[in-house]
Amino acid sequence: MSARVTIGVLALQGDTREHLAALDAAGAEAVTVRRRSDLDAVDALVIPGGESTTMSHLLREFELLDPLRARLAAGMPAYGSCAGMILLASEILDAGAEGRAAVPLGGIDMTVRRNAFGRQVDSFEGDIEFEGLDAPVHAVFIRAPWVERVGPGVQVLARAAGHIVAVRQGAVLATAFHPEITGDRRVHELFVDTVISAR
């Protein structure tokens, strides 16, 4: 790797530790992001899995919502898994109860449906083809979303059960599944390479 990049993992709620380990294994300087000064100091951001409505509430509480939207609009690379995919969308279906709804950050021109594959008991895993990777990815879906619409600038990277589950728009990547918990670092390596290219 020719340049070491600093990639933050949003550490308000969700599976932060697993993403930090995956990014470190992929060659990045991985740090937690909890406040505005943390966000300002990173080259890119990972938004982990978790609960999208809780994460939205905490983004407001920690005064990170508008700064994060501004960084994304300015071209900051980002990667979101599961709840992170939901938040990176431009539109969220079944966003949750008013006042506690998941808030779209507008990082990718797409419409995402929360909990589309069902409840926790409907979680599943399997091998799926992933555009740009030489072998299938073992994908773990936990109360996962899917993508119902993509804009013209969005590349579809993977599908499961006929639904879009991985996308990319410029330097922003999102998956409905959790590569951080499988030990397969290729999605994180792809993201780190994207961040290096965007510098």
- What average pLDDT score do residues 156-184 get? 96
C-alpha–C-alpha distance, residues 42 and 6, integer Å: 5
The answer to whether residue 120 scores a pLDDT higher than 70 is no
Query: What pLDDT band is residue 124 in, cutting at 50, 70 and 90?
Result: confident
Q: Is 82 one of the catalytic residues?
A: yes
Q: Architecture of 4-196 per CATH?
A: 3-Layer(aba) Sandwich (3.40)
114 annotated to a ligand binding site: yes
CB 48 within 8 A of CB 16: yes
Contacts of 9 (CB under 8 A, 6+ apart): 16, 19, 20, 23, 30, 31, 32, 33, 45, 46, 48
The predicted model scores a pTM of: 0.94
Q: How high is the pLDDT of residue 9?
A: 98
- What average pLDDT score do residues 162-180 get? 96
Q: How high is the pLDDT of residue 101?
A: 86
143 annotated to a ligand binding site: yes
Antiparallel, parallel or unpaired: β 89-93 and 108-113: parallel
C-alpha–C-alpha distance, residues 19 and 185, integer Å: 10
Q: How high is the pLDDT of residue 119?
A: 63
User: Which of 19, 57, 180, 189 is flagged as catalytic?
Assistant: 180
Query: What pLDDT band is residue 2 in, cutting at 50, 70 and 90?
Result: very low
C-alpha–C-alpha distance, residues 181 and 139, integer Å: 9
Q: How high is the pLDDT of residue 142?
A: 87
User: Which of 19, 57, 82, 189 is flagged as catalytic?
Assistant: 82
Higher-pLDDT residue of 73, 101: 73
Higher-pLDDT residue of 170, 121: 170
Q: Is 178 one of the catalytic residues?
A: yes
98 annotated to a ligand binding site: no
Least confident of 32-46, 105-119, 129-143: 105-119
131 annotated to a ligand binding site: no
Q: What is the dihedral of CA 137, 138, 144, 146, to 10 degrees?
A: 30
52 annotated to a ligand binding site: yes
